[in-house]
Structure 1
Amino acid sequence: MYGITKKDRKMIDKKIKGQKDFLQSFSMEIGDKQHSMLDSCYSANLNPKKYFAEMNNRVNSIFEYTKDAGLKPVFVTLTAPAKFHRKNKKGKLIIDPSDTAKALSKIWAKFLRLKIFKHMKTDTGHNLIYFRVYEPHKSGVPHMHAMLFLPNEYILKIKKRFYKYFSDFGTNKKAIDFKYTFYNKDDKGNLTGGAIAYIMKYITKTFSNEDSDTTDDAVYWYIKHRIRRFLSSRTLAPLILYRKIRHDFKNMENDYLYITKKYQIGQIQRLFNDTVFTINRFDPSTEEYDDVILYKKMILDPETPTTDAQEKAFLKYFELKLNRTFGKEYTEMNYNRLMPNYYVNYIEDDLEESQEDILYQIISDKQYDMKYPIYKQAQNISKPMIVTVDGIDAYSFSTIQDKFIPIIKVPSKMKDLQLLNYFRELGNTPVDKLNLHHYGLVKNECITRGLVQGEIVSLNDYNMEFNNV
C-alpha cells in the first residue's frame, strides 16, 4: 500500500535502527538517572511520542490563540491534479510523491499571496494562521489537509477564491473541500469534539502505533519520500526558543501560548545567534525590570583541562562518524590517516571555536600519525570590552584606536518593551548629560508604535532647552 515495497521496509527499518543505536550510545547523568541523546530527540521517526506531544501542544496553542483573536476554524482539502496520478507500464508513479508534495506546497504559497489575504491582514493585524498535513492516497500520491483560521466576514469570500483558484490549477472540484462546520460523532453516534478533534484525526494517522511492533505503511511513506508530517504558519514563538526554555514554564496551563505572547511584546528575546535567551521580569526587591537569562549555550572552555571521560566521548563520537561514512572495516584499517583529516573537515562546519581548541589538543596528544597535517587551527578571537555609564551610555573599547568609542543605540531596531524602558531611562537622565536629538528620535519612534501619546516633532525643533521639547 502507498507504493511501499518489502525492500523499502527493510531499508528504512535498518536506517532507523542505526540512527537510534547511534543516539543511544551517548548518555549523560541528570540527577540519579541516565539519559541518552535519543531521550532528547524531537524527530518524528526516532522519538514519535515526544514529537507528537509537542505537536499536540502546538495545535492546542494555535486554537487558543485564534479563539482569543475571534477567528473561526475552516478545514480545507486539496488533491493533486490528474497528471500527478499517472503511472508507467510497471505500475509506478511517473512523478515522485515528494515532487507532488512540493508542487502542492508551491501552489498553496501562491494562493496565500492573493490580495484578499493582504486585505485581511490590514483588518486583523496579522497574517493568515494555519497548519497543514500531507496524507497519501493508496496509490502513494499525496493530498493536503489544512486548517485555516479566518474572521467570520472573510469565510465565504475566501471560499469563493479557493474553489476558483484550485480549479484553475487543474484539480477536480469534487476533489477539493472547504468545510467550516464540524459535527464529529463517536461510536455511539453522539456529537463529540470539534475542529481540533477533526484535524487531529488526520494527524494521528501519520504516526506509528506505540503499542505495536509493526509499522504502518503510511509511516514508511513519509520516511521514504522525506515528506513532513506537520507544517504551520509562523504564529507561535519559534521552536528553537520554546524547546530551550519550556522547562521554566512547565507549571503553566498553556506554556507555549504564554511564551509566544511574551516573545511578541519583546519580554523574551533571542540574543547572540540564539546562544542566549532572556526574559524581562519585574524584581520586587529593586522595583525595577531586569533581564534574566533563561538559557545560555554551554561552550567548553579551552583553558579548562579535559577529563578522560570527555576525551573518550569526543573520540568515540568521531569514530562512529567515520564508521557511518566509510564503513567499520575501512575505518579500522585507515584510522590513523582518516582521523585527523576527518576531524578537521567536520569541525569547520559543526563545532564552536572553543570546542575546536579542545579537540585539536586531544587529537594532537594521541598516537595518531600526524604526517597528515591539521589544516585548520582554532584562532583566539578577542571579544570587545563593553562598559555602561549611568545605565544609559554604552562604550566599546577599540583596540585599533586604543580608546573607548560610544555604541549608538538604534531605536528602530529595538523591541517594544526594550524601547519603552530605554525611553523612560532617557527621561530620568539629567539634561546636561542627555543628547536631545537622540531623545527626540527615541520619543518619535515610541509615538509611531503607539507606546506613548503625543505628536511627532521634527528633530530640528529639539534644542538645549529641555522645557521646549
Structure 2
Amino acid sequence: MKRAQAKRVAAAYIKELQPLIHEPVLVHFFLLEKGIEPPKASNDESFNARLLSLDWWIRKIISKAIKDREAVAILNGMVSRGRQVYCSDTNVNYVKAKQLENLIIMDSKLCVSDEGDEIPMLKILQSSMANPENRRAELMVRMAGFEQYADSIGHVGMFYTITCPSKYHRFSGNALNENYSCTPRQGQDYLTTIWARIRAEFNREGFHPYGFRVAEPHQDGTPHWHMLLFMPRDHAAKITDIIRDYALREDGEEQGAQQHRFTVKEIVKEIMTKDGIKKVSATGYIAKYIAKNIGFDIGLDSEEDTASTSDVGDRVRSWASVWGIRQFQQIGGASVTVWRELRRLKDQEIEDPQIRAARDFCVANDWASFLDLMGGIDIKRLDRAIQLLKKNEIDTETGEIKMNRYGEVIEKIIGIATLITEMVTHTKKWVLVNKPSMEATRAPGAGRSPWSPINNCTEKLE
C-alpha cells in the first residue's frame, strides 16, 4: 500500500473515531474490526492522541497491509521449502528496498554536536548494533560470558526448543495443513504468552535460569524458539518439567506433539572421541542460530538445503521485519544497556572503584565478571549495584519539561549511577542535520555553516 492511499484511509478512520473517542468499549471494537492493535501509551490522553494522529494510523495501516500480503502468500502455499522459504519474494524485495531507501537517507545526514563535532550518520550506523558484525560480536560476548559465569559456580547448561501447535503451521512436511488458522505473528504471540507463564512459575518456585533465546522461522514462516539456559544442577529437572508442561498445554495430545513441540538437551562439557576427551562449549549450541539469523555463512541451511545460511539471511531478516518478531533476547542477568553506557567511559578517569571496575570489565568484554560485580543472577534488576541515570528532557528556551507529540514526558538516559556516585555518559547534545549540498558549500559569503543545526536541523538525535 502506498503512503498516499494509507493517508486517505487513515483520515477516514479518524473521522469515524472522533465521536467514539471517549467510549473505550466502542474504541476497542473499532480497532478490533480494523485489525489494529491498541496503541501503547502511558495515560488515557496519550492513548487518544495516538488514535487521532494521522501519522500513527498511516504507520499501522501500511504495516497491516504488509502483514496481510504475507498472510495471503502463506495461505496460498507460496512460502515454503523449495518455493519462497521463510518469507515471500514480494516482501523480501520490499524490505530490501526500504533498507536501501533508509541508507540513502542516512547517507544524506550528519550528526552535529553542540561542541561542533560532525559525524556522518552512516559511520554511526556502522559502529552501532545495526551493523550485523557488531551485533553478532556482542551477542557472542554475552553468551560466552554467561557460560563462563555458569562454569565458575557449577551451573549446567540446558538447550531447549519450543515450537507452536500444528494449527500455526501452513505445511505439515511437504503437504498443506488443512487445520492452519494462525499467522506467524500469532505464533510469536503464543510463544511469548507461554514463556510469560513459565517465567511466572519460575518466580513462584524461586528459579532464576539465565541465557539467551533465538526466534527463527520454519519453512512456512511459523516461529519456533531455541533457548540456551544455565541453572543449578538441582533445579534442572524441575525447570525442564515446567517448560515442557506449558509447551504442551495447548493441543498437547495432537499427533506428533510429544516428539516435536518440545525438545531438551543437557550440554555435556566433555565428550570422549577417538583422540581422547574433547571439551564442548555450550555457547556453540546457540552460536550457529545467532549467526544464521543475522545472515552469516555457517554452511547449508537446515530448511533450504541447497542454499547457504548467508544466502537466506535476507529472507530471515525480512521475515522478522514483516511480522515484528524480536529475533534475540537475553534471559536474566545484568542490563546490557548499563554495559553499553559503561563502555562510553573507556577513556575517562573514574574515582568510584565500583564503577571503575565495572567499566574495565565492559571495555575488556568480560561479561562474566561484569555480571558478578552487578550481583550475579539471583538479584532483582532494581537492586543491582549500578543503575541507569535518567532525566526528563528540558526545553532550553522555555525551561519546561519536553513532551512528545502525544503529550508524554520525554525521559532520556544520560549516564549511570550507584548509591553514592553519578556519572554522565552523554556529555554532548547531538542533532541530525542534512549534509551540505555542493552549491551551498561554494556559495560566497555563506557565513554560518550551511549544515548548522540552527539552520538545517531535521530532528533531534535520540
SS of the counterpart of 2:449?
helix
Number of residues paired by the alignment?
300
Change (3 A) 1:194 1:263: closer
Question: Any conservation in 1 of the 2:169–2:177 contact (CA below 8 Å)?
Answer: no
- 1:397-441 Cα shifts (integer Å, max 9, x gaps): xxxxxxxxxxxxxxxxxxxxxxxxxxxxxxxxxxxxxxxxxxxxx
- 1:68 equivalent in alignment to 2:166: no
- In structure 2, distance between residues paired with 1:215 and 1:167: 30
Q: Among residues 212, 227, 241, which one is paired with 2:325 in the alignment?
A: 227
Opposite residue 107 of structure 1, the aligned amino acid is I
Map 1:150-165 → 2, pairs under 5 A: 150-165=231-246
Map 1:366-445 → 2, pairs under 5 A: none
> What's 1:107 paired with?
194
- 1:198 equivalent in alignment to 2:288: no
> What's 1:11 paired with?
94
Which is higher, the Rg of structure 1 or of structure 2?
Answer: 1
Shift of 1:205: 1.1
Change (3 A) 1:155 1:292: closer
SS of the counterpart of 2:226?
strand
- 1:246 equivalent in alignment to 2:376: no
- 1:119 equivalent in alignment to 2:205: yes
Question: Any conservation in 2 of the 1:268–1:278 contact (CA below 8 Å)?
Answer: yes
- 1:377-399 Cα shifts (integer Å, max 9, x gaps): xxxxxxxxxxxxxxxxxxxxxxx
Change (3 A) 1:219 1:184: farther
- 1:23 equivalent in alignment to 2:23: no
Question: Any conservation in 2 of the 1:2–1:221 contact (CA below 8 Å)?
Answer: no
Question: Any conservation in 2 of the 1:133–1:145 contact (CA below 8 Å)?
Answer: yes
Change (3 A) 1:77 1:142: same
Q: Among residues 179, 188, 193, which one is paired with 2:265 in the alignment?
A: 179
Q: Which runs of 5+ in 2 are unaligned?
A: 1-83, 299-307, 347-358, 376-382, 392-411, 432-446
- In structure 2, distance between residues paired with 1:62 and 1:189: 29
- In structure 1, distance between residues paired with 2:94 and 2:449: 34
Shift of 1:254: 3.4
> What's 2:216 paired with?
135
SS of the counterpart of 1:41?
helix
Calculate the TM-score normalised by the size of structure 2: 0.54
- In structure 1, distance between residues paired with 2:158 and 2:291: 19
Q: Among residues 271, 283, 302, which one is paired with 2:389 in the alignment?
A: 271
Change (3 A) 1:29 1:106: same
Structure having greater relative contact order (Cα 8 Å, sep ≥ 6)? 2
Q: CA RMSD in A?
A: 4.2
Question: Any conservation in 2 of the 1:62–1:236 contact (CA below 8 Å)?
Answer: no
Question: Any conservation in 1 of the 2:107–2:122 contact (CA below 8 Å)?
Answer: yes
Shift of 1:25: 2.5
- In structure 1, distance between residues paired with 2:138 and 2:228: 18
Question: Any conservation in 1 of the 2:188–2:223 contact (CA below 8 Å)?
Answer: yes
- In structure 1, distance between residues paired with 2:328 and 2:283: 14
Question: Any conservation in 1 of the 2:146–2:367 contact (CA below 8 Å)?
Answer: no
- In structure 1, distance between residues paired with 2:264 and 2:297: 33
Shift of 1:174: 0.4
> What's 2:379 paired with?
none
Shift of 1:202: 1.6
Change (3 A) 1:310 1:196: farther
- In structure 2, distance between residues paired with 1:138 and 1:220: 14
Shift of 1:270: 2.6
Shift of 1:262: 4.6
Opposite residue 50 of structure 1, the aligned amino acid is N
Question: Any conservation in 1 of the 2:215–2:225 contact (CA below 8 Å)?
Answer: yes
SS of the counterpart of 1:178?
strand
Shift of 1:214: 5.3
Opposite residue 308 of structure 1, the aligned amino acid is R
SS of the counterpart of 1:56?
helix
Shift of 1:109: 1.1
Q: Which runs of 5+ in 1 are unaligned?
A: 122-126, 281-288, 302-306, 319-346, 353-469
Q: Which runs of 4+ in 1 moved over 6 A?
A: 42-45, 87-93, 210-213
- In structure 2, distance between residues paired with 1:230 and 1:22: 27
Change (3 A) 1:98 1:110: same
> What's 1:387 paired with?
none
> What's 1:399 paired with?
none
Change (3 A) 1:167 1:19: same
Question: Any conservation in 1 of the 2:168–2:187 contact (CA below 8 Å)?
Answer: yes
Opposite residue 4 of structure 1, the aligned amino acid is C
Map 1:287-298 → 2, pairs under 5 A: 291=421, 293=423, 295-298=425-428
Change (3 A) 1:158 1:271: closer
Question: Any conservation in 2 of the 1:12–1:220 contact (CA below 8 Å)?
Answer: yes
SS of the counterpart of 1:65?
helix
Question: Any conservation in 1 of the 2:160–2:263 contact (CA below 8 Å)?
Answer: yes
Q: Among residues 122, 126, 151, which one is paired with 1:38 in the alignment?
A: 122
